[in-house]
């Protein structure tokens, strides 16, 4: 074969559903010289990562760590450690990613009851209560921030119901951690998983997870081995414990990246970060509305960090996204499942949630829509966003 040249990647502004752009400080942290995975300096780094994850997850859970793989691995870690063949689980599904929970749980051999809502809607706590009373499951799985629809699921009442009924609450926080309030302890969440490449402004490669004492007790009562050796927390806990029993070679550079990403979250302030995402969302939403774009999610439950909007009639999904990418260097996401070909998904996550990004995206979208035949008042999107920013200052 011919040896290819060195990579020469043109920068792209990543405004899709993920990954998002990594913070420049995170990228610099990845250039830190490698260490051995049992080097005292690296072990200290890992301890600090766990401590910072507890702050960001808003939990005191001892079992809080980054799984050495991407966000889907976090989902699998939660399910394979808490479910055994024959266990019953309810999966509340109102979008694409909850369907992944269903498939993983079925492969474990669990009995899965699917509770459904239309895409873009959320679940009422009473629906959950009635389903639990009928099915009497061991666990309930639900997505906090549904990336496919742009909907944010309220969890506080659902967590209380699960505590009251003795059901383990397993939550997908892949698109919510570091962007909107996530309150593991206050909401009574027993297991949660996330990712490194969205709200935490790192490259993909790690999946933060956290487990409550109730969840740990459930693991310790297991009668069968975990389905996965790699994601078996019984083994991983020994690696993280005082014995440091070898389990796998952790991705050193990615942990350096996550350390810096989490440090930046704490430096900004967790609550301040939530506020920043809301402010930029309001500006983007005003601009998108001025361009004639409507959100797919219920207005009461729209995500600030993932803005899913309906594609105007007559506009070609792929042509629009291709123009955004090739002519403006901006990536936005297409729809999934029920929204395939019908929606665009615009992410403002972590480092990318800032006014300059909002204004650039709106200016590019205006040109794209105009070229694709949509009548848009010149400068309407940018002007609407600027009006929101003016009120915020």
Interval 198-230: pLDDT, tens: 999 999 999 999 999 999 999 999 999 999 999
Averaged pLDDT, 150-164: 98
Between strands 151-152 and 139-143, the pairing is unpaired
The reported pLDDT for the residue numbered 292 is 96
The reported pLDDT for the residue numbered 393 is 75
Helix (H) or strand (E) holding 371: helix 355-371
Rounded CA-CA distance 123/130 in Å is 12
Q: Kindly write down the DSSP assignment for every residue of 99-125, as one continuous string.
A: HHHHHHHHHHT-EEEEEE--TT----H
- CB atoms under 10 Å from CB of 194, counted, come to 32
Residue in this structure with the two tokens 């205006």, named with its chain if needed: 366
Rounded CA-CA distance 229/241 in Å is 18
What residues are paired with 208 via a beta bridge? 66
Residue 42 has phi, psi (to 5 degrees) of -70, -40
Rounded CA-CA distance 385/357 in Å is 11
For 209, the token pair is 């997870």
Largest CA distance in the chain: 66
**Sheet containing 306-310, strands listed edge to edge, beginning at the edge strand earlier in sequence:** 306-310, 343-347, 333-334
What residues are paired with 103 via a beta bridge? none
Q: Kindly write down the DSSP assignment for every residue of 187-235, as one continuous string.
A: TT-SEEE--SSSTT---S--EEEEE-HHHHHHHHT-SS--S-STT-HHH
Averaged pLDDT, 65-94: 97
Residues whose CB falls within 8 Å of the CB of residue 336, separated by 6 or more in sequence, listed in order? 95, 96, 148
The reported pLDDT for the residue numbered 223 is 95
Rounded CA-CA distance 284/346 in Å is 10
pLDDT above 90: residue 274 = yes
- In words, the CATH class of domain 270-392 is alpha beta
pLDDT above 90: residue 197 = yes
Residue 21 has phi, psi (to 5 degrees) of -65, 135
Burial of 74 (0-12, 13-18, 19+ CB in 10 A): buried
Rounded CA-CA distance 115/102 in Å is 11
CATH of domain 24-266: 3.40.640.10
> pLDDT band at 289, cuts 50/70/90?
very high
* Residue of 183, 90, 190, 188 whose CA lies nearest to 133: 90
Residue, of 249 and 138, whose pLDDT is higher: 138
Mean model confidence pLDDT for the chain: 96
Give tens-digit pLDDT for 228-272: 999 999 999 888 777 778 889 999 999 999 999 999 999 999 999
Averaged pLDDT, 117-135: 97
Averaged pLDDT, 287-293: 97
Q: Which regions of the chain carry the CATH code 3.40.640.10?
A: 24-266
Helix (H) or strand (E) holding 389: helix 380-392
Q: Which regions of the chain carry the CATH code 3.90.1150.10?
A: 270-392
Rounded CA-CA distance 3/89 in Å is 51
pLDDT above 80: residue 376 = yes
Q: Are 173 and 143 in contact (CB under 8 A)?
A: no
The reported pLDDT for the residue numbered 243 is 75
Residues whose CB falls within 8 Å of the CB of residue 16, separated by 6 or more in sequence, listed in order? 331, 332, 333, 345, 346, 347
């Amino acid at each position: 074969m011919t040896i290819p040249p060195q990579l020469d990647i043109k920068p792209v502004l990543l405004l899709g559903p993920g990954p998002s752009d990594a913070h420049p400080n995170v990228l610099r942290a990845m250039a830190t010289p490698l260490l051995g995975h049992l080097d005292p300096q690296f072990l200290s780094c890992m301890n600090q990562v766990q401590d910072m994850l507890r702050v960001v997850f808003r939990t005191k859970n001892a079992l809080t760590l980054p799984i050495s793989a991407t966000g889907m691995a976090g989902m699998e870690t939660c399910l394979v450690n808490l479910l055994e063949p024959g266990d019953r689980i309810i999966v509340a599904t109102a979008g694409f990613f909850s369907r992944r929970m269903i498939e993983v749980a079925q492969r474990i051999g669990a009995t899965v009851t699917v509770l459904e809502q239309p895409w873009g809607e959320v679940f009422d706590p009473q629906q959950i209560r009635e389903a639990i009373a009928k099915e009497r499951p061991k666990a309930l799985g639900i997505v906090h921030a549904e990336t496919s629809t742009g909907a944010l699921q309220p969890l506080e009442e659902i967590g209380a119901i699960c505590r009251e009924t003795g059901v383990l609450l397993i939550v997908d926080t892949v698109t919510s951690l570091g962007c909107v309030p996530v309150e593991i302890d206050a909401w009574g969440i027993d297991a949660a998983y996330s990712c490194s490449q969205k709200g935490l402004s790192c490259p993909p490669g790690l999946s933060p997870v956290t487990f409550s004492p109730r969840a740990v007790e459930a693991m310790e009562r297991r009668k069968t081995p975990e389905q996965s050796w790699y994601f078996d927390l019984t083994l991983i806990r020994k690696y993280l414990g005082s014995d440091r029993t070898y389990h796998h070679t952790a991705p050193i550079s990615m942990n350096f990246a996550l350390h810096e990403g989490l440090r930046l979250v704490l430096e900004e302030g967790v609550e301040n970060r939530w506020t920043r995402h809301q402010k930029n969302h309001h500006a983007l939403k005003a601009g998108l509305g001025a361009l004639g774009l409507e959100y797919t999610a219920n207005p009461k439950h729209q995500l600030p960090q993932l803005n899913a909007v309906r594609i105007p009639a007559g506009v070609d999904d792929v042509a629009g996204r291709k123009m955004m990418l090739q002519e403006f260097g901006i990536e936005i996401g297409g729809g999934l499942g029920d929204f395939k070909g019908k929606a665009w998904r615009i992410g403002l996550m972590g480092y990318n949630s800032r006014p300059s990004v909002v204004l650039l995206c709106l200016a590019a979208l205006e040109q794209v829509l105009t070229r694709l035949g949509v009548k848009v008042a010149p400068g309407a999107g940018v002007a609407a966003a600027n009006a929101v920013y003016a009120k915020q200052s």
